[in-house]
Structure 1
Amino acid sequence: MTTATAMAQALASGEATSAQLVTAAIDRARQPDSAAVMITVTTERARYQAQASDLRASRGARRSRLDGVPIAWKDVFDVQGTVTTCGSASHLHDEPAVVDSHLVRRVHNSGLVTIGKTNLSEFAFSGLGINLCFGTPANPLDPELVTGGSSSGSAVAVARGIVALAVGTDTSGSVRVPAALCGIVGYRASPGRYGPHDFAPLSATLDSVGVFATTVEDLAALDRVLLPTRPRRRPLPLRFVVPTGEWSQDTAAEIADDIDVAVAELRAAGADVQFRHLPSLSTAQSLMDDIGTIVGAEAYRLHRHRLDSTMPIEPATRRRLESNTHTADSIGPVYAAMSALRAEFAADLDDATLLCPTVRRIPPPAADLQSDADWYDRANAAVLRTTMVLSYLGSCGITLPAPAARPGPRTGILLSRPSDDDMALLDCAAWVQRVTNPTIRKSPTPPPRP
């Protein structure tokens, strides 16, 4: 039972109990190869919640389809009785949270079982996933390579089978990137999709909630739990756009080959796939290259006090904050252009789904980065270059594992749509995963056409 959907079916049929699933999850979280994945394991809470779920099941009163399924949370969400560390030594001695974040509470009220809180890049301010205080989770595909970040622990918790579902946050790519580098599915929801954010922020303008799973079906199941209201579905055209220009020219050959394989499979299944230039992408990238990023400016405003403080922060965090000292003053034009560029992005797509590599390069070795500060900083910028622009353009996005047409690590296929078009994105991604992944090919039926 490696998926949340399979677990839910086993719980509904009586083939498994939540207590059994939770015990297995906690045992896996404590295995040596899971070191640095979890910052906190909430054993007592998890066992109590599992017992309550099993009691509801015995009475025929399950709260949701996912009642009894284990879940983990990035350690920027408050979980009652635990310290919210944000992946930083500077928060180790903070007071424990008095109440759950509202999403944690909503999930609890739907019966899911919180088993703990996952590791991350310090303050969620890096795309590499390296953490000097709590350790760096090992990439399950190749332990020498970075996992991607910032939601590294959440990605590895799902990839290693500790949990089938984990929640993270995505500002510049912090869900999409680690999901891609760890070979699983990662979803960046449109900002505000699940209500006001009450997790520890990095950039209030661009922060969003994200979910990790191994199938889009699992993402959709948790999305239904997290949504305050049920949105309407709409017919979806099977049209995709692969961006040209820098977005193809700057991509490593083996990753470009992954995209070519995926495009061939989608076309064979009946999809219309075009390669063309999208002016909104180029304009947005040039703007950020010339002026800076909203994330950099807002992270500096939020954390600049740490530069003159005795509170410990990692050297890489300090370098990123210092590099954005002047961005907060110059960033105005990037804010000013955002709304128009988001509208232009939607017009450029013309109701097609953007398809591109999640990351344009094979991930680098973690040990090498830690011995070379310049390489570390260049690698961090490179791993986020695609997803950061799409965050600025307001897109929701889902990364899927690339078709296994070659040996070695891959970086995922990213599907993106304009903000608030999440239902269409989830439907599209489910269809693409069935086409490109033989183990998911249970239903060849495409989503409805208009």
Structure 2
Amino acid sequence: MTTATAMAQALASGETTSAQLVAAAIDHARQPDSAAVMITVTGDRARYQAEACDRRALRGTRRSRLDGVPIVWKDVFDVQGTVTTCGSASHLHDEPAATDSHLVRRVHDGGLVTIGKTNLSEFAFSGLGINLCFGTPGNPVDPELIPGGSSSGSAVAVARGIVPLAVGTDTSGSVRVPAALCGIVGYRASPGRYGPHDFAPLSATLDSVGMFATTVEDLAALDRVLVPGGSGRGQLPPRFVVPAGEWSEDVAVEISEDFDRAVAGLRAAGADVRICHMPSLSNAQKLMDDNGTIVGAEAFRLHRHRLDSTLPIELATRRRLENNTRTSNSIGPVYAAMSVLRAEFAADLGDATLLCPTVRRIPPSAADLRSDPDWYDSANAAVLRTTMVLSYLGSCGITLPAPAVRPGPRTGILLSRPSDDDVALLNCAAWVQRVTTTAI
């Protein structure tokens, strides 16, 4: 797959034009096998933007290193002239957006070209990536398997090479999970890193922007378009903490083998990797197990009116809303402890980076889950269990493809740092990707 960095170099040297890159992306996005990946293809807008990029290149006034590179957006962001569906049939007949979302405008100001908007779990309220209205994007490793969600279309668009960069949102794991299951890199930025959130919310307390690419270098390049400066290598080789307990032990054999192989490679490269108990992590998980999740409570408050509406929603969405009916009353202790636990999480880590498997199970078949509501709901809770508690603790995180020597579904290794440690996280992740890629 061609990376955004490679495209940027080719554009800078005159080997290609943005118009050529964008034409190829539009063609790929409109192929029949991309129908469940893309909800909207903004062909006219993309061609216009690409032509403007090429004129800037001729004048020597490119807006950024990534000027002219194609990008797609999860369909919770407004793109002028398109309906923001949130992956739901209930929004199919809404009015088109009058303006772009704040982040869409900023990325356009950096010269990137919007190809369209991608599919997702309905209302971004599932980690599985299944969508009955727009279709379920096929996992690029095996199209019968779930792609992960909620930012399923964004992950698959990058994994299949439609575009080198995609933007999603990550509340409970909605970028990290599909990136891991699709074998690419997914980054959950610290909440607010890119300014106010004006995408369609799920949980205002925990929502954050996330990005997909095939390399950390590409993610860092896009981050620098939005947050200039902030470079620095940090401590290399880095220190890692692997959390003892369910986060590293309650995992499938295949995932454990992939993770152990990655840890061995990091140690061989000079990293200090220690297995430690993380009290903040354990306490946060118990608190949510006992009282429910902030995401569940806030999603219910936001969408409970849909339980009595005649507008269509998926049965799985209805079940999750109904299951959180009482969470709004029990969630108080989870809110009350959040700031203290976040400070404890930062203290527990110190200058180390948390390291663990991104997901704990191999992805199941989408058809099997659709036929068994109980399995569907338990699989959704399981796939998000690791990333959800880290979101609650405010962490920024990056999942990288685990070095696998076996065929079949991919898994991820997750690096997490306390909120606002994004630069240190990106630098650490770049080092890890170099080491694990060499190990393969």
TM-score, normalization: structure 1? 0.96
| Equivalence for 1:443 | none
Q: In the aligned structure 2, how far is the partner of 1:77 from the partner of 1:211?
A: 13
**Identity over aligned pairs, percent:** 85
**Equivalences for 1:295-310 in 2 at 5 Å?**
295-310=295-310
**Equivalences for 1:70-149 in 2 at 5 Å?**
70-149=70-149
Q: In the aligned structure 2, how far is the partner of 1:239 from the partner of 1:327?
A: 38
| Equivalence for 2:391 | 391
Residues 403 and 439, structure 2, Cα contact 8 Å, conserved in 1: no
Amino acid at match of 2:140: P
Residues 261 and 405, structure 1, Cα contact 8 Å, conserved in 2: no
| Equivalence for 2:280 | 280
Q: Secondary structure at the match of 1:240?
A: strand
Structure 2 residue 201 is matched with structure 1 residue 201: yes
Q: In the aligned structure 2, how far is the partner of 1:347 from the partner of 1:407?
A: 39
**Equivalences for 1:308-387 in 2 at 5 Å?**
308-387=308-387
Amino acid at match of 1:191: P
Q: In the aligned structure 2, how far is the partner of 1:212 from the partner of 1:343?
A: 28
| Equivalence for 1:39 | 39
Amino acid at match of 2:234: P
Q: In the aligned structure 1, how far is the partner of 2:253 from the partner of 2:344?
A: 30
Q: Measure how far apart 1:404 and its partner are.
A: 1.9
Q: In the aligned structure 1, how far is the partner of 2:79 from the partner of 2:261?
A: 42
Report Cα offsets for 1:63-106 as digits up to 9, x if no partner. Answer: 10000000000000000000000000000000000000011001
Amino acid at match of 2:272: D
| Equivalence for 1:448 | none
| Equivalence for 2:154 | 154
Q: In the aligned structure 1, how far is the partner of 2:182 from the partner of 2:246?
A: 25
TM-score, normalization: structure 2? 0.98
Unaligned ranges ≥5, structure 2: none
Q: Secondary structure at the match of 2:44?
A: helix
Q: Measure how far apart 1:234 and its partner are.
A: 6.4
| Equivalence for 2:49 | 49
Q: Secondary structure at the match of 2:50?
A: helix
Q: Measure how far apart 1:245 and its partner are.
A: 1.2
Residues 148 and 177, structure 1, Cα contact 8 Å, conserved in 2: yes
Residues 402 and 413, structure 2, Cα contact 8 Å, conserved in 1: yes
Q: In the aligned structure 1, how far is the partner of 2:408 from the partner of 2:243?
A: 25
Bigger mean CA deviation after superposition, 24-33 or 117-126: 24-33
Residues 265 and 439, structure 2, Cα contact 8 Å, conserved in 1: no
Q: Secondary structure at the match of 1:437?
A: helix
Q: Secondary structure at the match of 1:25?
A: helix
Residues 87 and 123, structure 1, Cα contact 8 Å, conserved in 2: yes
Residues 233 and 427, structure 2, Cα contact 8 Å, conserved in 1: no
Structure 2 residue 25 is matched with structure 1 residue 25: yes
Q: Secondary structure at the match of 2:302?
A: helix
Q: Measure how far apart 1:218 and its partner are.
A: 0.1
Residues 141 and 410, structure 2, Cα contact 8 Å, conserved in 1: no
Q: Measure how far apart 1:439 and its partner are.
A: 9.4
| Equivalence for 1:235 | 234
Bigger mean CA deviation after superposition, 173-182 or 22-31: 22-31
Q: In the aligned structure 1, how far is the partner of 2:58 from the partner of 2:365?
A: 49
Residues 232 and 427, structure 2, Cα contact 8 Å, conserved in 1: no
| Equivalence for 1:404 | 404
Amino acid at match of 1:235: G
Q: In the aligned structure 2, how far is the partner of 1:189 from the partner of 1:48?
A: 30
Residues 341 and 393, structure 2, Cα contact 8 Å, conserved in 1: yes
Q: Measure how far apart 1:276 and its partner are.
A: 1.3
Q: Measure how far apart 1:407 and its partner are.
A: 2.4
Q: Secondary structure at the match of 1:247?
A: helix
Q: In the aligned structure 1, how far is the partner of 2:359 from the partner of 2:404?
A: 16
Q: Secondary structure at the match of 2:335?
A: helix
Count of paired positions: 439
Q: In the aligned structure 2, how far is the partner of 1:236 from the partner of 1:126?
A: 36
Q: Secondary structure at the match of 1:321?
A: helix
Residues 4 and 165, structure 1, Cα contact 8 Å, conserved in 2: yes
| Equivalence for 2:173 | 173
Q: Secondary structure at the match of 2:168?
A: strand
Q: In the aligned structure 2, how far is the partner of 1:190 from the partner of 1:217?
A: 18
Q: Secondary structure at the match of 2:116?
A: strand
Report Cα offsets for 1:103-122 as digits up to 9, x if no partner. Answer: 10011111110000000000
Q: In the aligned structure 2, how far is the partner of 1:319 from the partner of 1:200?
A: 21
Q: In the aligned structure 2, how far is the partner of 1:397 from the partner of 1:93?
A: 36
Amino acid at match of 1:231: G
Q: Secondary structure at the match of 1:320?
A: helix
Q: In the aligned structure 1, how far is the partner of 2:126 from the partner of 2:226?
A: 26
Q: Measure how far apart 1:233 and its partner are.
A: 3.5
| Equivalence for 1:433 | 433
Amino acid at match of 2:138: A
Amino acid at match of 1:111: G
| Equivalence for 2:423 | 423
Q: In the aligned structure 2, how far is the partner of 1:167 from the partner of 1:53?
A: 20
| Equivalence for 1:224 | 224
Amino acid at match of 1:236: Q
Residues 120 and 152, structure 2, Cα contact 8 Å, conserved in 1: yes
Q: In the aligned structure 1, how far is the partner of 2:141 from the partner of 2:112?
A: 28
Unaligned ranges ≥5, structure 1: 441-450
Distance 1:173 1:30, change over 3 A: same
